[in-house]
Chains A and B, each alone.
Chain A
């Protein structure tokens, strides 16, 4: 089963989304972790207390030594000065431990806070005991020594704790940094792999697309060729129909002419039976002539020939002429035709023959399907506040069923018309009307009920749309 290029696109998009999401997650984790590391390193400064505590312990020890030297030298004033200096230094250390930055981190080191608070008490005790210090009185010496000894113990304890924490934090940081390093390497490898996969996908996809485009171009050329052939065939067909109609009309005219001569008994009397025959011949020939005329018109439209010259004319005049032509062309008894026009002229710009054809076919159709005691009314008037023209042909004839109407207005094609046999009820005229109305950019409506007559309405816009150069629909049909 081959995968379509679009599916590759979707797969590629999903792969990109998944990889991006995974990478973003990894990067977010790394960033958060780095931040935590950064905080830990900042905190590490607090563990500098290990160094400070070491110096604190040293200072306490040095003070003890100074005390011992003072006692050993039996209270030499310079030794007392040195002892006092050492106590001052120790005092300063305790102050720094209490108020300096190390103090901000004492809570991290177990026991550091209480140790520092205790040291304040101890150094105050030492300071007080110094005032009564007598090298000959062991109790007064102990009053200085004991707090100092305790402070040495406290400082050692804090120093050890801080050193331990410092060491474990460094070790932990190192471990985390190593793990971050591995994660970063993994992320970089993932990026490289995904980029490679993506590039591969893109290359495959673009190849497939190119192949599809090539195939489509070949197909397109084939379709164009076929369309050309169809068009040529259609035109040839129409030309053939045109020529055929024309060729048939010439002998038909001879038949009509000679039949009339016989019917009128121009060269002597003819038996009644022959007269009836010849009348039938004449009527049949006239009907055939009408059909041929319509086929000629349709062929003319289908081969894309323009209907003629556009000029400005009066709709009323054209309507009147067309209706008269219908009247005179109709043989035998006919229903009455009324023409209803407004008094003022209705100027219109189009090919007058197109309008004339519309009126002629509508009126002729109506007349043919209306009995002699019936009535046909042809009217024309401005429509849509004078922006267009409406032509209405109304008859009291047999009317049309839904099927007949559909057949009458069916697909515009000579082939259809020819196969659908032009019965006397449905002529080609309605399709010609429909076609002409389309050419003028108007609308054609047919309202009819079987047995209740027919109303044909044509609405034409004042400024007709330009006729499409070639009507593809005719070719397609």
Chain B
């Protein structure tokens, strides 16, 4: 009995670890307005070697939420989106960092290690609603600032990019 239960537990654990996001992620062409383009060292693409997402496609990826205040806003908000780790896994990205470019051509570099260490998300929902460009949308890189005071550092703040347009894995 014990052995069977052990095997079952192991299987379940493996399923959780490997399972929710399939390794080979079939990416259709976007049908809505493109919000994010990922290029560089990725295994999955849909448009000319890049992975182009509309909001609906992003929403098919596992959703991770962070409840926090940010230095650029008033009050605490609930941000939801795809975690950096899930995005890297979904695209089979093989580099060590994302080069992030925003709509205003602001640029920053986010190391993949931040994803595991801080649970960074690429948020597209703020308090349940899609984020407009006028409010840091369509994609906002959110760190859990409230749960880790050490994140209140200039280098980290610089990586928390709003109005994200594109990523390049490298």
Contacts and interface: CB of A to CB of B under 8 A. Distances in A.
Whether both chains belong to one complex is answered with yes
A91 B132 CA distance: 11
A48 B162 CA distance: 17
Interface stretch (B22-30, B80-88, B116-124, B133-141): B133-141
A91 B134 contact: yes
Interface string B65-99: 00000011110000000000000000000000000
A318 interface: no
A384 B74 CA distance: 95
Interface stretch (A94-102, A300-308, A428-436): A94-102
A282 B80 CA distance: 139
Contact of B72 (A45, A58, A101): A101
| Interface of chain B, main secondary structure | loop
Contacts, number: 37
A118 interface: no
B11 interface: no
A80 interface: no
Given A88-B134, A92-B136, A92-B163, A55 B104 contact: yes
B106 A55 contact: yes
Interface size class of A (residues with CB under 8 A): 10 to 19
Interface in A32-67: 45, 48, 55, 58-59, 62
A262 B123 CA distance: 149
A88 B133 contact: yes
Contacts of B163: 89, 92
Contact of B154 (A45, A85, A89): A45
Given A55-B106, A59-B104, A89 B74 contact: no
A88 B132 contact: yes
Interface in A59-95: 59, 62, 85, 88-89, 91-93, 95
A96 B72 contact: yes
Nearest to B73: A99
A92 B106 contact: no
Nearest to A62: B104
B8 interface: no
| Interface of chain A, main secondary structure | helix
Interface string B123-162: 0000000001111100000000000000000100000001
Contacts of B106: 55
Contacts of B133: 85, 88-89, 91-92
Contacts of A48: 154
A85 B103 contact: yes
A410 to B, nearest CB: 91
Interface in B26-78: 71-74
18 contacts: A45-B154, A55-B106, A58-B104, A85-B133, A88-B132, A88-B133, A89-B103, A89-B104, A91-B133, A91-B134, A92-B134, A92-B135, A93-B104, A95-B134, A99-B72, A99-B74, A100-B71, A100-B72
Interface of B: 71-74, 103-104, 106, 132-136, 154, 162-163
Given A88-B134, A92-B135, A92-B162, 20 more contacts: A48-B154, A55-B104, A55-B106, A59-B104, A85-B103, A88-B132, A89-B103, A89-B104, A92-B133, A92-B136, A93-B104, A95-B134, A95-B135, A99-B72, A99-B73, A99-B74, A100-B72, A100-B73, A101-B71, A101-B72
5 shortest A-B CB distances, which residue pairs?
A100-B72, A88-B133, A101-B71, A91-B134, A99-B74
